[in-house]
Structure 1
């Protein structure tokens, strides 16, 4: 038994890493189950095609829970410490709701038998469309808060709709590469599969063995109780920065050990703090976490301190880790002073002076450049044979039992996806031409083309590692050169290109979940379209309500609604849109060397690929350059100490538990992740509605004092003399 488990694990690592240049995978027991141990343990290899899906119960719960989730997640996205509900929480709540509806409704069309797992999955998939606040809302926010501009509700809603749904049209082609192959695991989906099976399947238990459902209830209840400590009673546990506490008013100590600095030695005992930007460490394979860790160590703990303390780009005038905008003298950059009619004014800019950013902020842009070009090289080197083979066999080859079972259902015609792609592209062009986004029709087509070019290599990375490199940097870079001085055009181009890709992969990831759970593809298609429209509408309504009701929202003047992601988004709009990449990174700029990262990223996968050929079967095969370079993609606003603590948790479960307690790992690790997310989410809602919504402040004691280690070193950082 032990030797079989070891062989399964080795097969899993080989398959998920996609490091074999083969055209197909030959498996002995493919007829019975997946060759990947985690998939075999979590995903059923049987199906009942007679179970109803698009029932009255689904429509009611799908709409209600999508509204709830989109409101909550948009609301918390504005919060100073962002958090949100995951699809796992909706899965938990909808289960008893479905059972109650099945019991109370009269039998017949409205109530076709017991509440079944396929209805439940469709409710979760619909609500999952609201798991992230629509990125286009950030455009609406910076227009109103920073640029004092408002195009109205219709324009804002059409912008959200097109950016959220244009990418869905790409999913028709991507299915053949990212859904059908068994090696495309999508590890995060296994958490949801585990929870669905926990709720609906009767387990065969040994004497004294806990069921998954009991484990879920106990773990989520325990996390709900514990989360009150870092979330309300003892916020110091969120970042136990003991080095900074030794001398909190020391700039050096704060830079080295503070949460807003390098965070060396900082311990986080807050699950929400660990997963708010990075996702669950329990869902990422260990080999991918090692690559992320190497990237973080090299970028955040080697490149950044060396560059900063050597005063590269005059960086010592600014905080060490920050996304703020500064003048050459170290004061805050007044963007309004260089603009006229929402565009850069050359004369004002010449008089006011160039823009400066922190050393780390500049380096993260360079790493983003390298990450994009490395994806192209890596995909060609490692995946070209597999992609060609999959293209050839996509229409008549079934890779595993799950693909064969899905043939019982009619597929979504390709023209459905194609029609959606064309319609949303046309709407985007009309939107930009009718309203004053200052983005011409050819620019819309260009950003769509960029999304189409990168979506497959990025999808391969996400399907294997649960990590998604973004297109935000390259999109704003390209349009910044083509249309300089136009901030709203720049962010619109970025969102159309970047989020189209993201939404395409979100749709494909949900298709893979439906693939695992044997949901009819056409039911999935319509449920996701429904969820996306509802979520976008509620996102916009919620954002408008908060913008009109919260004074100082999305600025440093607000304590509870400072919106860190929006502030970073605004800074990017200034760097790439107002000032433009030619001025920021051109030949006359002090940051011009950042452009060499494009070449570095393109070349970097080559030596590791040849080393892998020279030393097959060694640790060299685990090196994944795009994942390594994408490791700091969420910094800022994420901080290095969050990555370090995240990696410690990942090591405990994805390495130690997987190696030494593999049975427990396969049975409970994903359930544990779901229960922790659920407990923290319920605690966060309870805190808001019981205390924060009523103006009740946190207990005033030592554990909640912010001055023990300031969370924002810009609030006390001694800037250079004010510019005259």
Structure 2
């Protein structure tokens, strides 16, 4: 798997969480790491919302966890309506809209994700509006309740991502020239998305009920819900949060037309490179397609397309990312490239494309027969080569996974053991007691779902030619099930989710070499099932905090997941049919950077296989040492922290985050990082320090508004111009070749336009 073959799993290629089907403001590559630091930093994050909340002082019993006690109410009203007509209307509409938007944007050359934070904000006034206009009675049982609001958002959470298995369908159709049909594709999506749900049912006793299982990311969600449902105490002339959201959304909608359509050069102003575009070294170092030194972007869509919004990531995490980016992309990679490590100069400096030894594109159709590696053809055609940056990205991915293990052991072993013991001995906290008012979901519901989805996975792979035998499916599911509890324990306490991507690819790559579709199918079953289990379990904990009836949660999560899978596939099929040259360089708007990297990974791990690619006889064999390097790196910083107790900055050094810094490169470009970090500094450092009141009230909302305004502009321009094949008239500001890199090729040979 490539370092960024799927936007949902960029960090997971580094051993980090993908938050694979959940795209809210606290569940992306970076925010899944923001709490894995000393506990006082988590408290700082919680304190951000305390000004909007008040504890229920008349109840003496509260959570034994201070962060939870400060945020989560210790009271409940079981009479509040939950699955009302208003809920179904909003849940279905928002799930359809969100899953369509995010899948649509997934194919774009500059992908973006609509956060479920937008749904949280929009559903509140819409819910209140429906409560006001619908006739009172069964359809409208009183005011719009916070429980309805939470359930709408949770359903949208399940629908907010793009199903990972969609990329299997895409690379099959575009690069491997095969199509198993709609039913096969949908069944694969359905089982990979819902297998984890069955696991979550077993995990809830260990990861949801106990007070010790905090799931820190949910505390921000709880604070936001409580803030929205608490009447704002506005001073004369002061804007409400919702008014601010609407104005900012409209403002970004208007502005986004400038870099997005009228003046595209503003998306990447490589002004240093423009001094002498013909200079290859200057283009490599300062060009937008190179290392992007000095490049500026004035396009919100471009800045957030791979890394998510910088407005919601804590400054300490951004410092680690910036340092990691600087050391890897601007120090180590230039040294490796210009010293010609692994024949680096034969290939572009930054690309996930595949090459022959002489630097020409690698045509995978020349080494396969019926989409399986043909040994004789491979020997005649020659070995695979990748860019040095791409190879090093795998190395840092290995290091990131290994560092996660040692970092978690060093910094959290005592906490994990203590809270695991507490979870077994003291599960009856006040929140668990309050949840006894609601009927629990029978175990057989979850078990039945797990068995049915496993059977569907086996049948799908056996009936259609995925080249993954039944025992391969069961092995993938077994790996996922085996790791779900330990991974869940880590994530519930530290907000870290060690990824199974590398493990699953390695395993099946050695067992079934030469089978790319089997490789990505095994990886999806083994990795995404676990990641989905974590997503569902996290949502169950949010429902636990907000006192949502468990059976309502069960059906709400199923509803969102089914809607998302169906909508994702329909949207993907529509775009694949309607857009000529999609996912290739022939398309301007829909070049599918993630699918291209996903395809490259399928070749590296599936066709060529890990033994040939990284084995003892490979020139990339040294990459395996990154496992050892990553495992060792946290130790010196841990002992330095213990030795120099007054050196506060050591508490914020986070090796896994630092190593994961360039986890999205490629397909992300270097200038995405620099501009992302600049905005992060402006909001998470300057605004937070010097304008804290404004920051606490509006920063998250501004992020959601910018996402929404840009999304509306992109979708409208697609229907007005792209579908009608209309483009901006040629002029200097619309050119994309102002600073070209000779020989740069992102797109693999073997696509349906070659």
Query: Normalising by structure 2, what TM-score?
Result: 0.85
Contact 1:479 1:493 in 2 (8 A): yes
Contact 1:469 1:630 in 2 (8 A): no
How has the CA–CA distance of structure 1 residues 306 and 475 changed in structure 2, closer, same or farther, with 3 Å as cutoff? same
- Deviations 1:486-524, CA, capped at 9 Å, x for gaps: 111011011112222322232233334434544333322
Q: How far is 1:642 from its partner?
A: 1.4
State yes or no: 1:620 paired with 2:659. Answer: no
Partner SS for 2:267: helix
Partner SS for 1:554: coil
What is residue 503 of structure 1 aligned with on the other side?
Answer: 532
Q: How far is 1:536 from its partner?
A: 0.6
Partner SS for 1:632: coil
- Deviations 1:193-252, CA, capped at 9 Å, x for gaps: 566456543112334433222322232232222222222222222222212222223321
CA distance in 1, matches of 2:270, 2:562: 43
CA distance in 2, matches of 1:17, 1:446: 40
CA distance in 1, matches of 2:462, 2:290: 43
CA distance in 2, matches of 1:45, 1:650: 35
Structure 1: tracts of 5 or more residues without a match: 1-8, 19-26, 718-724
Contact 1:189 1:509 in 2 (8 A): no
The 10-residue stretch of structure 1 (487-496 or 114-123) with the greater mean CA deviation from structure 2: 114-123
Contact 1:12 1:36 in 2 (8 A): no
Contact 1:17 1:622 in 2 (8 A): no
- Deviations 1:422-465, CA, capped at 9 Å, x for gaps: 43233323322332212233332333344345556766776688
Contact 1:371 1:469 in 2 (8 A): no
CA distance in 2, matches of 1:261, 1:458: 36
How has the CA–CA distance of structure 1 residues 682 and 321 changed in structure 2, closer, same or farther, with 3 Å as cutoff? same
Equivalent position to 1:377, from 384, 387, 406: 406
Equivalent position to 1:665, from 672, 683, 695: 695
How has the CA–CA distance of structure 1 residues 179 and 570 changed in structure 2, closer, same or farther, with 3 Å as cutoff? farther
CA distance in 2, matches of 1:142, 1:317: 27
Structure 2: tracts of 5 or more residues without a match: 1-36, 47-54, 748-754
Query: How is 1:53-132 mapped onto 2 (pairs within 5 angstroms)?
Result: 53-132=82-161
What is residue 211 of structure 1 aligned with on the other side?
Answer: 240
Partner SS for 1:129: helix
What is residue 682 of structure 1 aligned with on the other side?
Answer: 712
Equivalent position to 1:702, from 728, 732, 735: 732
Partner SS for 1:54: coil
Q: How far is 1:635 from its partner?
A: 1.4
The 10-residue stretch of structure 1 (597-606 or 197-206) with the greater mean CA deviation from structure 2: 197-206
Q: How far is 1:306 from its partner?
A: 0.8
CA distance in 1, matches of 2:434, 2:491: 24
What is residue 551 of structure 1 aligned with on the other side?
Answer: 580
Q: How far is 1:662 from its partner?
A: 3.1
What is residue 307 of structure 1 aligned with on the other side?
Answer: 336
Contact 1:291 1:623 in 2 (8 A): yes
Partner SS for 1:631: coil
Query: Normalising by structure 1, what TM-score?
Result: 0.88
Partner SS for 1:562: coil
What is residue 5 of structure 2 aligned with on the other side?
Answer: none
Partner SS for 2:723: helix
RMSD of Structure 2 on Structure 1 (CA): 3.3
Equivalent position to 1:345, from 346, 364, 374: 374
What is residue 23 of structure 1 aligned with on the other side?
Answer: none
What is residue 13 of structure 1 aligned with on the other side?
Answer: 41
Contact 2:194 2:532 in 1 (8 A): yes
Q: How far is 1:129 from its partner?
A: 1.9
Query: How is 1:103-252 mapped onto 2 (pairs within 5 angstroms)?
Result: 103-172=132-201, 175=204, 176-177=206-207, 184=214, 186-187=216-217, 190=220, 196-197=225-226, 199-252=228-281
Equivalent pairs, count: 700
Q: How far is 1:318 from its partner?
A: 0.8
- Deviations 1:529-548, CA, capped at 9 Å, x for gaps: 11101111121122222222
Contact 1:406 1:518 in 2 (8 A): yes
CA distance in 1, matches of 2:444, 2:315: 39
What is residue 750 of structure 2 aligned with on the other side?
Answer: none
The 10-residue stretch of structure 1 (444-453 or 664-673) with the greater mean CA deviation from structure 2: 444-453
Contact 1:80 1:564 in 2 (8 A): yes
Partner SS for 1:227: helix
Equivalent position to 1:291, from 320, 323, 328: 320
Q: How far is 1:528 from its partner?
A: 1.0
Partner SS for 1:694: coil
State yes or no: 1:646 paired with 2:676. Answer: yes
The 10-residue stretch of structure 1 (422-431 or 159-168) with the greater mean CA deviation from structure 2: 422-431
Contact 1:398 1:404 in 2 (8 A): no
